[in-house]
Amino acid sequence: MSASVTSRALDLLGAFDTDHRALTLSALARRSSLPLATAHRLVGELHRWGALARLDSGEYVIGRRLWDLGLLAPVQAGLRQAASPFLHDLYGATLATVHLAVRDGTEVLYIDRLSGHDSVPVVSKIGSRLPMHATGVGKVLLAYGPEEVLTEVLGNLTRVTAYTITQPARLLDQIRRVRADGYATTGEEMSLGACSVAVPVRGADREVVAALGIVVPDLRRERARLVSALQVAAQGITRTLTSVEWK
Amino acid sequence: MSASVTSRALDLLGAFDTDHRALTLSALARRSSLPLATAHRLVGELHRWGALARLDSGEYVIGRRLWDLGLLAPVQAGLRQAASPFLHDLYGATLATVHLAVRDGTEVLYIDRLSGHDSVPVVSKIGSRLPMHATGVGKVLLAYGPEEVLTEVLGNLTRVTAYTITQPARLLDQIRRVRADGYATTGEEMSLGACSVAVPVRGADREVVAALGIVVPDLRRERARLVSALQVAAQGITRTLTSVEWK
DNA sequence: ACTTGCCTTCCATCCACCGGAAGGTTGGTC
DNA sequence: GACCAACCTTCCGGTGGATGGAAGGCAAGT
C-alpha cells in the first residue's frame, strides 16, 4: 500500500481534472501531497517525456503525448467510430445537441457530443460524467442495465434542479415506461431550459451498449419526430456495429 | 540519460501506438526493452491506477483514466471548442469530410474531423499526422508558417500517390499561389479519388493558427462554392476566438 | 512426453530515489 | 531601496524500495 515511485508520478497526473487543467508546480505538489523537491523532479521527467507541457505562464498542463495516448484508448472506439456519421446526420436534421453515452459505474459517461451555436447550452462534455437519474441517456441506460445499478441509483437521487426526480417511486415508474416505450425523456431535470429525449443503441447481440440522446429547449411538439430520428440513427449504428468486425 | 523509474513506466506507455493498441505483457516488455519481471510489476501498477486496462484476451490497452486525462490536454482546446459548431455547419452544407488541423513539427496534426457515410474515404484520423506537402491543410500551413519549415519540407518530398508533388520547384510555386489566393487545393496527392480545398484560420492577432479543409471526390465545378463556404467558416472561428477569452 | 511461449512470484542486492536545506527569482508593499 | 512572501531550482548523502535473474505454473501445439 506504500507509495511506489511509479504511483507517485501517477498521483501527480491525477492532480489534473476538469476544474484544474493548468497547475503550477507547487499546486501540483500540494494536490498530490508530495514534497516540492520530489514533485519538481517527477514533473521534470514527465515534461521531458511529453506527458506534461508547460505554458508560458509556467503552469503545467497535460501534454500532447498523453493526448495521443488517450486517443488510443478503446473507450468504445468501435462504437464511436460506427456512430460518428449518424451523430452528424442527427445533428444535421435537428441542429440540437446530440449525445452518445455509456454507463460507467452508476454514472453516465459521455463519449461523444455534437453541438452547434444555436443549440441549448448544456453541461455535458465529452469525457464528463453525470448522474443517471437526471439525464435522458441515463434513464435509458438504467432501464436496460443491470438491476443492481438501478437499485443503487434509486437509493441516491441527488437533486440538481427544481425538476430533478428525487422520489424512488417516481423514477421507477418512469423507468418502467422507458422499457415499454423504448425511449426516455427529461424536462429540465439536469439544467433549466433543457429537455431531452434518448433511445438505446444495441450491439451485435441485441444487448444495449449505449444510449443516444438529444437536447432541445422544448419537446412538446417535436417529440414524435425526434424519437423517430433517434431510432433511425440508433438502428443505423447497430447495423454498422454488426456488419463491421471489431477485433 | 539513465533510465529513471518513472521514465520506465512512460517507456511502457510509449509502446502503444496506432498500430499497437493492444499488447500482451511480453510484447510490452519487448517493445520497451524491459525485463519481463520489471514490466510485469510496472504494468501492474499502471493497471491498478487505471492507466491501462486488461482485455478478456489478457492483452493490455490504454485505460479509461488516461483517456480522461488526454481530454484535458489543451491541444488547441480553445480552437477546437470555437471551431466545433462551424465544422458542423460546414459538414451540413457540403456533406464532405471536414478537417481542422495544425502544424506539428514538419507534419500536419489533425485535431478534429467530421465525416459522414457518404464522404470520400480518407486516411486522416483525429490525432493522426500526415505529410504537409500532400494535403490541402498542409499546404496552407506551409504557406503561412515559418520559412524554416518550408525549407525542411521542400528537402523531403516523399511520394505517396502518383500525383504527389515531389519536385521542390513545383511545390514552391503552389505555395506562392496559396499566399496569393488565400486557399490551397490538392488533387489525389494523398489518396486516389480524393481532392481537397483548405483555407487558413486566423487567431486574435491575425496570425494563422490552424487550417480548415474539406475533402471531396472532385472539385472542378464546386471549387468556388467550397472556398467561400470554408472562408465563411474560418472567419466565424476567428470571430469566436477573438471574442471568447481563453485563459 | 516434450517444447515453446506465455504469465506470475520470490527475494537478496545495490543503487537511484528521496527530500531537507540552501539559494535564486519574481512581484508586491511600505 | 529594503523587506517580505511565494514561487522555482539545484545539491547531495543515506537508505529503503526498485530491480531482474531464477524458478515454477499454465496452456497450446507437435
CA distance B53 to chain A (A): 9
CA-to-CA dists, residue B123 to A82, B74, B100, B110, angstroms: 16, 24, 14, 11
Q: Give percent of chain B above pLDDT 70.
A: 95
Across the range B97-114, mean pLDDT stands at 92
Q: Are residues A21 and A86 in the same domain?
A: no
The C1' atom of D17 and the CA atom of A4 lie apart, in whole Å, by 8
Q: How many whole angstroms separate alpha carbon A107 and alpha carbon A127?
A: 12
3-class DSSP state for residue A193?
Answer: coil
Cβ atoms of A140 and A183 closer than 8 Å? yes
- Long-range CB contacts (< 8 A, 24+ apart) of B236-239? B236/B86, B236/B89, B237/B79, B237/B82, B237/B83, B237/B86, B237/B201, B237/B212, B238/B201, B238/B202, B238/B203
CA distance B109 to chain A (A): 11
Please tell me whether any atom of strand D lies within 7 Å of the Cβ of B2. no
Q: Kindly provide the b/e burial profile for residues B162-173, where b requires at least 16 CB atoms within 10 angstroms of the residue's own CB.
A: ebbbeebeebee
Q: Are residues B148 and B135 in the same domain?
A: yes
Q: In terms of pLDDT, which residue wins out, B165 or A88?
A: B165
Instruction: Give the bridge partners for A131, in sequence order.
Output: A107
- Long-range CB contacts (< 8 A, 24+ apart) of B60-63? B60/B22, B60/B23, B60/B24, B60/B25, B60/B28, B61/A72, B61/A73, B61/A74, B61/B16, B61/B21, B61/B22, B61/B23, B62/A69, B62/A70, B62/A72, B62/A73, B62/A74, B62/B13, B62/B16, B62/B21, B63/A73
Q: Are residues A108 and A209 in the same domain?
A: yes
Residue A65 has pLDDT above 70, yes or no: yes
Across the range B55-62, mean pLDDT stands at 88
How do strand A22-23 and strand B97-104 relate by DSSP bridges? Answer: unpaired
Residue B125 has pLDDT above 90, yes or no: no
Tell me the residues of chain A between 84 and 123 that have a Cβ less than 8 Å away from chain B.
84-85, 88-89, 91-92, 104, 114-117, 119
How do strand B195-202 and strand B184-187 relate by DSSP bridges? Answer: antiparallel
pLDDT of residue A110: 93
What residues have CB less than 8 Å from B240, skipping those under 6 apart?
B82, B83, B86
CA-to-CA dists, residue B244 to A23, B88, B229, B241, angstroms: 22, 19, 23, 6
Protein residue with the closest CA to the C1' atom of nucleotide C7: B25
Q: Are residues B61 and B153 in the same domain?
A: no
Q: Are residues B63 and B80 in the same domain?
A: no
Residue B228 has pLDDT above 70, yes or no: yes
Which of A38, A62, A65, A124 best tests the B interface by mutation, with the highest count of B CBs <10 A? A62
pLDDT digits (tens, 9 = 90+) for A163-211: 999 999 999 999 999 999 999 999 999 999 899 999 999 987 788 999 9
Please tell me whether any atom of strand C lies within 7 Å of the Cβ of A38. yes
Q: How many whole angstroms separate alpha carbon B1 and alpha carbon A178?
A: 59
Please tell me whether any atom of strand D lies within 7 Å of the Cβ of A37. yes
ipTM, two decimals:
0.82
CA distance B209 to chain A (A): 17
Could B66 and A70 be called an inter-chain contact, meaning their C-beta atoms sit closer than 8 Å?
A: yes
Q: What residues of B are in contact with residue A18 (Cβ under 8 Å)? A: 72
Residue A5 has pLDDT above 80, yes or no: no
Q: How many whole angstroms separate alpha carbon A45 and alpha carbon A155?
A: 44
Instruction: Determine the residue of chain A that is closest to B76 in CA distance.
Output: A64
pLDDT of residue B38: 87
What residues have CB less than 8 Å from B37, skipping those under 6 apart?
none
Q: Are residues A66 and A80 in the same domain?
A: no
Mean pLDDT of chain B: 88
Categorize the per-residue pLDDT at A137 as very low, low, confident or very high, splitting at 50, 70 and 90: very high
Q: How many whole angstroms separate alpha carbon A148 and alpha carbon A145?
A: 9
Categorize the per-residue pLDDT at B118 as very low, low, confident or very high, splitting at 50, 70 and 90: low
The C1' atom of D5 and the CA atom of A26 lie apart, in whole Å, by 14
Q: Are residues B58 and B79 in the same domain?
A: no
Residue B245 has pLDDT above 50, yes or no: no
Residues 27-66 of B with CB under 7 A from strand C: 27, 36-37, 40-41, 58
CA-to-CA dists, residue A97 to A196, B89, B198, angstroms: 9, 13, 27
Counted domains in chain A: 2
pLDDT digits (tens, 9 = 90+) for B182-206: 999 999 999 998 999 999 999 877 8
Cβ atoms of A14 and A51 closer than 8 Å? no
For residue A40, give its domain range.
Answer: 5-71
Across the range A141-166, mean pLDDT stands at 94
Residue B120 has pLDDT above 70, yes or no: no
Cβ atoms of A64 and B54 closer than 8 Å? no
Q: Are residues B113 and B211 in the same domain?
A: yes
Q: Considering B28, B52, B71, which residue would you say is the last residue of a domain?
A: B71
Residue B39: which nucleotide is closest by CA–C1'?
Answer: D20
pLDDT of residue A11: 85
Q: Are residues B130 and B9 in the same domain?
A: no
CA distance A5 to chain B (A): 7
In this structure, what DSSP letter does residue A23 have?
A: E
Cβ atoms of A108 and A147 closer than 8 Å? no
Q: Are residues A109 and A152 in the same domain?
A: yes
pLDDT of residue A204: 78
Q: What residues of B are in contact with residue A5 (Cβ under 8 Å)? A: 5-6
Could B69 and A13 be called an inter-chain contact, meaning their C-beta atoms sit closer than 8 Å?
A: yes
Q: Are residues A53 and A79 in the same domain?
A: no
Q: What is the CATH number of the domain that holds A44?
A: 1.10.10.10
Across the range B2-28, mean pLDDT stands at 82
Residue with the three cell numbers 514552391: B172
Smallest Cα–Cα separation from A70: which of B142, B110, B99, B51? Answer: B51
Q: How many whole angstroms separate alpha carbon B108 and alpha carbon B149?
A: 12
Grid cell, residue B37, equals 519481471
Smallest Cα–Cα separation from B47: which of A7, A234, A49? Answer: A7
Which candidate from B6, B16, B68 shows the least CB-CB separation from A5? Answer: B6
Categorize the per-residue pLDDT at B246 as very low, low, confident or very high, splitting at 50, 70 and 90: very low
Instruction: Determine the residue of chain A that is closest to B7 in CA distance.
Output: A45
The C1' atom of C23 and the CA atom of A29 lie apart, in whole Å, by 20
Residue B2 has pLDDT above 70, yes or no: no
Q: Considering B46, B71, B96, which residue would you say is the last residue of a domain?
A: B71
pLDDT digits (tens, 9 = 90+) for B133-171: 999 999 999 999 999 999 999 999 999 999 999 999 999
Q: Are residues A150 and A224 in the same domain?
A: yes
Q: Which helix or strand (DSSP H or E) is residue B205 part of? A: none
Across the range A113-119, mean pLDDT stands at 76
Q: In terms of pLDDT, which residue wins out, A164 or A12?
A: A164
Across the range B9-27, mean pLDDT stands at 87
∠B42-B48-B54 over CA atoms, to 5°?
A: 85
pLDDT of residue B115: 82
Q: Considering A42, A71, A100, which residue would you say is the last residue of a domain?
A: A71
